[in-house]
Structure 1
């Protein structure tokens, strides 16, 4: 099925797209139809489930909800992620997130991370309007802990660590200076004949 999707995406003519859009619109039950423009580009809606480990730096209510996004057939996964983050005023870097497609086949559920250059509306068109066949999920990127941060964020972390290190060092020096004074005082008392 995946190979078939890739193959048809590369070779769909304007007529085939027109036919698929008409077929899609006949199957729609929630009035979220697709519109085909004369240039062969079509627009429509995708629904995206937010599944984040922790609420992003915005209202916690955005986590777990289903979002409807109006997009074009030319919009890529990267652009969809950016649009979702903008919609919810999420200030974190889009690099921290990934869009997955969830497919249901023969009582099995498969989740597959989409490449940034894939086109979600095309996937929706090919699968049809039923979300039990295909759905989209936004999750935090499964990459190394530091790789998701931008360069300015990493530099800021280093500044914070340097400041904490300096503070710890000053505290340690104060503690040892106090300990030295106590030892020297004890030694002075021991040396003085009593």
Structure 2
């Protein structure tokens, strides 16, 4: 993939807000979080299943019979296998790329070895997805690193995490995968249906990030991003309350008006 084709599929904005993330708090069912806690243990733990060589070969044949593309899995005699996984990007914050000539970019400076190094930050579209050809031994951390390399992302891989997404009874559940899990094995166990299981790349949860591993300029950039997100959240909340207040005042005015 050339830089031109890659850049054309990426949009960038310095003031792009995460309003969709905010909408989640207003549109989610009130019992959603309780249902998640109660149903996590009920979800299938694909990692606990073990197969013999013959069972793996049989499951690979079953998998290939269900797909309508050429993204087949190939089983080897030793029980290993190769195939494709599709990873969806759901990133709220921008990713950093090496400096390139571009019309729309945010430039941040990073001091490395006493020199100032420029990088360009972009927001990926929410519907971005990427296919990767991997083996049954490829682990989650290697998948994350491969995805970042595909887009020439220079951010620390520790900033990101891979999640499995499942749909059950009109509810969506997300579960973070550990670094030592093998995504292709999960794909084989679940089958090709993305409703049963899909893979999503997201920002790592704050509590799991070792902030001491980042440079001072990176931490400063995180603080700037968090400040913009906080300000946008405040604006959205103030706007919602102002709208609700105006609506109630209009209703009171109609009630108090005689006739």
* TM-score for the superposition, normalised by structure 2: 0.55
Check if 1:54 corresponds to 2:93.
yes
Q: Return the offset for 1:149.
A: 5.6
Check if 1:67 corresponds to 2:106.
no
Alignment correspondent of 1:28: 67
Q: Return the offset for 1:37.
A: 1.4
Q: Return the offset for 1:147.
A: 2.4
Alignment correspondent of 1:105: 168
Q: Return the offset for 1:105.
A: 1.4
Alignment correspondent of 1:171: none
Deviation per CA, 1:63-99: give whole Å up to 9, x if none: 4201111111000000000000111111011000000
Alignment correspondent of 1:6: 47
Alignment correspondent of 2:187: 124
8 Å Cα contact 2:93-2:123 kept in structure 1: no
8 Å Cα contact 1:103-1:134 kept in structure 2: yes
Q: Return the offset for 1:62.
A: 4.0
Of residues 83, 105, 116, the one that matches 1:44 is: 83
Work out the CA distance in 2 between the residues paired with 1:119 and 1:145.
20
Aligned ranges 1:144-159 → 2 under 5 Å: 144=207, 147-148=210-211, 150=213, 153-154=215-216
Q: Return the offset for 1:157.
A: 6.0
Change (3 A) 1:96 1:111: same
* TM-score for the superposition, normalised by structure 1: 0.72
Alignment correspondent of 1:81: 144
Alignment correspondent of 1:161: none
Work out the CA distance in 1 between the residues paired with 2:53 and 2:209.
44
Greater CA drift, 47-56 or 109-118: 47-56
Change (3 A) 1:157 1:46: closer
8 Å Cα contact 1:62-1:88 kept in structure 2: no
**Between Structure 1 and Structure 2, whose CA radius of gyration is higher?**
1
Q: Give 5+ residue unaligned stretches, structure 2.
A: 1-41, 98-120, 221-259
Work out the CA distance in 2 between the residues paired with 1:104 and 1:3.
12
Work out the CA distance in 2 between the residues paired with 1:157 and 1:50.
23
Provide the aligned C-alpha RMSD in A: 2.4
Check if 1:133 corresponds to 2:196.
yes
Q: Give 5+ residue unaligned stretches, structure 1.
A: 159-194
How many residues align? The count is 155
